[in-house]
Amino acid sequence: MAFKSSWFPYIKTSLRHYSAPLEGTVPQAKQKYVPTSGTYPRGFLASGTNVGVKPANTRFPDLALIASEKPCSGAAVFTTNKFQAAPVKVSQAMLERRKGCGVRAIVVNSGCANAVTGKGGLEDAQSMGRKVDECVDADGVQGDGDGGGTIVMSTGVIGQRLPIKKILNKIPTGYDNLGQSHDHWLAAARAICTTDTFPKLLSRSFTIPSSPDTTYHLAGMTKGAGMIHPNMATLLGILCTDAPISPPALQTLLNYAVARSFNSISVDGDMSTNDTLAILANGAAGGETITTPESKGFAELKEVLTAFASDLAKLVVRDGEGATKFVTIRVTNSSSFADAKKVASTIARSPLVKTALYGKDANWGRILCATGYAEGVTSVVPEKTSVSFIPTDGSAELKLLVNGEPEAVDEVRAAQILEAEDLEILVKLSDEEGEEAVYYTCDLSHEYVTINGDYRT
């Protein structure tokens, strides 16, 4: 089923000269990332509804709702930014109170972050959750007496109050709009976007040894194009599965997956106040419940979820504000995973590395410089460090530095490699086998400055 090309993003008085195109069209180069069909978990429903959180938005969905036909196990990771947004605090408190049990829905608005909005912002986030709970209760789904069961998320401009009456008035409409089709899920994915140029939605099926005759499903959506350098999550993400998983096991699975996916991407080095990644598991497909890391099927499910989360996180980087390149930074042969990840993260957020990539300049000295100032790393020994470009066409790596000694770089070939949209930078910290970490980032262009120079106008 084809996606609706009229879904991107606001125009009229919100007009800005950024990469998100006018009249809602997805850029031709990004259309390959928008799914035309999907396979979605049993018992989950989705919708995207227009509220007009930003007054200029009179057409496009900006309220997403995900609901389960039965109570779910829930888990989430949140930003570690000290200025946590109101919905982050509200959702954290709800999950802690419920111990991850009996979660029923997720509601998300775009256009306003409801961050740094004081007591009034907290009340607004709470009221959004209550309104969804009322819709679920009215639909005959009985509560368990432990209070609300809705995760609340918001994204957009910081420091402004939500038009809460408009949102509350439209939540029942969003609930009535719920459905299981691909279009319903795509509308929800679109509704959480801000400066994104395309909706980020994935789905897949899988099996696990604990219930080999049962096919399970996993669906996920995320948003983000700027203010991306997370610690615990990245901007907003929602994962849903019909596999039976207990809340403690679900949290363990999510923590592992996030460390190797959403916590391993960077667009601009800024950590959002609203970062939230949540997962719901309703067990609707049946089978043996996974309760602990020792449960049969846990290890396989961990790999499935990590690979899925990684693929979803990569879409954020591919839609980085003003980005022209998708860059994989692979740090190998480290004495520890923590050291390898710290080096990769430092390279990924270096403005000098990112601008050199934009300019197609094989300035490996900037990569080496970032490697050298990675804080708290003991694995970096200059005489043992090597740096290479790995082309995406399958040809041989271009060695730039080998065991601390510079190579005679073929600048023509380097320029050819840097012309491609995708690139891998390989940093070996020694020739001895060790730990590896991978980070995903993009370049930093003139357009990024343009986008963020007039973000509120």
Catalytic residue numbers, as ranges? 234
Cα 172 to chain centroid, rounded: 27
DSSP string covering 266-328: ESSSPPPSS-EEEEEE--TT-SPPB-STTSTTHHHHHHHHHHHHHHHHHHHHHT-TT---EEE
Measured CA to CA in angstroms, residue 24 lies from 19, 54, 110, 117, 181 at distances of 12, 16, 16, 30, 21
The C-alpha angle with vertex 109 and arms to 104 and 111, in degrees rounded to 5, equals: 170
CA atoms of 76 and 100, how far apart (whole Å): 9
Contact by Cβ (8 Å): 321, 18: yes
Site of tokens 């509308």: 187
DSSP state of 21: P
CA atoms of 37 and 407, how far apart (whole Å): 48
Contact by Cβ (8 Å): 230, 261: no
Kindly state the greatest CA–CA separation across the chain: 72
CA atoms of 380 and 387, how far apart (whole Å): 12
Measured CA to CA in angstroms, residue 96 lies from 71, 106, 318 at distances of 16, 16, 34
Which tokens sit at 128?
A: 């959004």
Site of tokens 């005679």: 408
CA atoms of 246 and 386, how far apart (whole Å): 44
